[in-house]
């Protein structure tokens, strides 16, 4: 089967009303590949602004959500709240949530389950740190993170896996196409063994880690690279180039 290429733009803790207005205008005027699914993820306070302004063929994602629908959880945002304002996606398990905010594998699995139940689509992030890669523990780490998610997911239709080697996020270092393909192939193999052959074949696996306009087309050629989760470059005009990387093949 053919998996539809997907590109996500994670704006992280960046942007203002003015800068995001300019960014959205650039996307709206861009000649975007209609065969690519595009999702942008601004900070929570700008979600509604971006959703209302961006072209209809570009979806919008939250950068996180909580495991509860409501209650005394100051500072948290519910998946149901995202859905209520027309948000379609959420990013969960990003390495910055794991590292800075100490989210555990189990907590991320519960978040994924709750978000799916609320009707959101999920970009579920996995990835190893530099010392783990150097210790040849990449698949150990990634499979552990996947298992914590899979434990809580019965239907993978609305789950996209984002492989983000932590050592390549915001560092300018990029996994070579061979390195990315090796891990993506291993993830697909794990899904086949632990979930089902059908899920393994259908699930899209994104690569994230210093993707830019210069390296996107090369990475997109790899058989098991089904898209990108883009950080810093999603705030620049080159994001359009990245969205069109598959068309350059």
Q: Is 184 a catalytic residue?
A: no
Contact of 40 with 58, CB cutoff 8 Å: yes
- Is residue 201 part of the annotated active site? The answer reads no
From 37, 94, 103, 107, active-site residue: 94
Active-site entry in 103, 128, 132, 164 = 164
Q: Which active-site residues does the annotation give?
A: 94, 164
């Amino acid at each position: 089967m053919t998996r539809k290429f997907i590109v996500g733009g994670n704006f992280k803790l960046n942007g203002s009303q003015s800068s995001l207005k300019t960014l959205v205008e650039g996307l709206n005027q861009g000649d975007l590949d209609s065969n690519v699914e595009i999702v942008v993820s601004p900070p929570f306070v700008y979600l509604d602004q971006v959703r209302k302004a961006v072209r209809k063929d570009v979806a919008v994602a939250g950068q996180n959500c909580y495991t509860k629908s409501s209650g005394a959880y100051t500072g948290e945002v519910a998946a149901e709240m995202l859905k209520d304002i027309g948000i379609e996606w959420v990013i969960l398990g990003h390495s910055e949530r794991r590292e800075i905010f100490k989210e555990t594998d189990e907590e991320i699995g519960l978040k994924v389950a709750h978000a799916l139940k609320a009707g959101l689509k999920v970009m579920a992030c996995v990835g190893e740190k530099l010392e783990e890669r150097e210790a040849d523990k990449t698949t150990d780490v990634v499979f552990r993170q996947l298992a914590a998610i899979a434990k809580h997911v019965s239907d993978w239709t609305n789950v996209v896996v984002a492989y983000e080697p932590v050592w390549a996020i915001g560092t300018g270092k990029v996994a070579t196409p061979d390195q990315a393909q090796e891990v993506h192939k291993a993830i697909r193999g794990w899904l086949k063994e632990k979930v089902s052959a059908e899920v393994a074949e259908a699930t899209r696996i994104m690569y994230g880690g210093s993707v830019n306009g210069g390296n996107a087309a090369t990475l997109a050629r790899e058989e098991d690279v089904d898209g990108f989760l883009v950080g810093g470059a999603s705030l620049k005009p080159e994001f359009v180039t990245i969205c069109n990387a598959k068309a350059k093949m």
